[in-house]
């Protein structure tokens, strides 16, 4: 059984004789006992989420695995800060920013500029997929968290809800919502999934 699985980070303090920092992926069985544990380097968030995604898809609980895999790859590319590859995956995508503090008519190019600027201020910037709220043959709605640490040591976390539509691995539409707009995002996804 894959569900529930968890991913956590841990470390031993450097003032102790051995300093270890790692990320643990634990799989629970039907009795909620650990059945398998996999360790990752503490900075290998893509590896940990890749393992979680693969296990979730292998469980048979995913109706549209190609959509989940496309989203996983998109976030992995963003987390590598491979801006050219990200631009290829999102080229010509429609972009709508529904967030209260948006800058108006954001385009996909504005989105890329924003990510690059944030990564210049937060070198370990990463996008973590916190929860898949729904998915279909054309896309998904997810809760995400943009996380990282400033050079001064301040932890940053920016939660959001993202609606993504795909054609194969390429994003054709991206809409971003504040976390309190979950119902709006889900209604918008339902609307986009209706036949024309």
- Interval 29-44: pLDDT, tens: 788 888 778 787 877 7
Integer Cα distance of 178 and 106 in angstroms: 15
The whole-number pLDDT of residue 1 equals 35
Give yes or no for residue 105 having a pLDDT over 80.
no
Give yes or no for residue 11 having a pLDDT over 60.
no
Query: Strand ranges (DSSP E) for the chain?
Result: 5-11, 21-28, 34-41, 94-97, 126-135, 139-149, 155-167, 170-177
Confidence of residue 5 (pLDDT cuts 50, 70, 90): very low
Q: Where are the alpha helices (DSSP H) in 20-137?
A: 45-58, 65-79, 83-90, 108-121
**Can you list the domains of the chain with their CATH numbers?**
92-193 (3.10.450.50)
DSSP-assigned beta bridge partners for residue 37: 26
Q: Which helix (H) or strand (E) holds 186?
A: helix 182-193
Tokens of 94: 């429609």
Identify the DSSP state of 64. Answer: -
Give yes or no for residue 155 having a pLDDT over 90.
yes
This prediction has a pTM of 0.78
């Amino acid at each position: 059984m894959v569900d529930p699985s968890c991913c956590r980070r841990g470390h031993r303090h450097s003032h102790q004789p051995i300093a270890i920092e790692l990320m643990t992926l634990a799989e629970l069985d039907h009795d909620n006992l650990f059945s398998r544990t996999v360790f990752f380097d503490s900075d290998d968030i893509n590896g940990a989420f890749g393992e979680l995604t693969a296990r979730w898809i292998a469980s048979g609980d995913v109706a549209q695995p190609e959509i989940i895999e496309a989203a996983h790859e998109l976030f992995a590319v963003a987390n590598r800060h491979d801006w050219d590859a990200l631009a290829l995956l999102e080229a010509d995508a429609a972009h709508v920013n529904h967030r209260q503090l948006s800058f108006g008519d954001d385009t996909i190019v504005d989105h890329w500029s924003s990510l690059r600027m944030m990564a210049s201020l937060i070198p370990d910037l990463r996008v973590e997929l916190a929860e898949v709220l729904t998915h279909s043959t054309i896309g998904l709605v997810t809760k995400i968290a943009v996380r990282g640490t400033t050079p001064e040591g301040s932890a940053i976390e920016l939660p959001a809800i993202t609606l993504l539509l795909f054609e194969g691995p390429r994003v054709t539409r991206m809409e971003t919502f504040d976390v309190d707009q979950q119902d709006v995002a889900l209604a918008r996804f339902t609307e986009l999934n209706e036949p024309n």
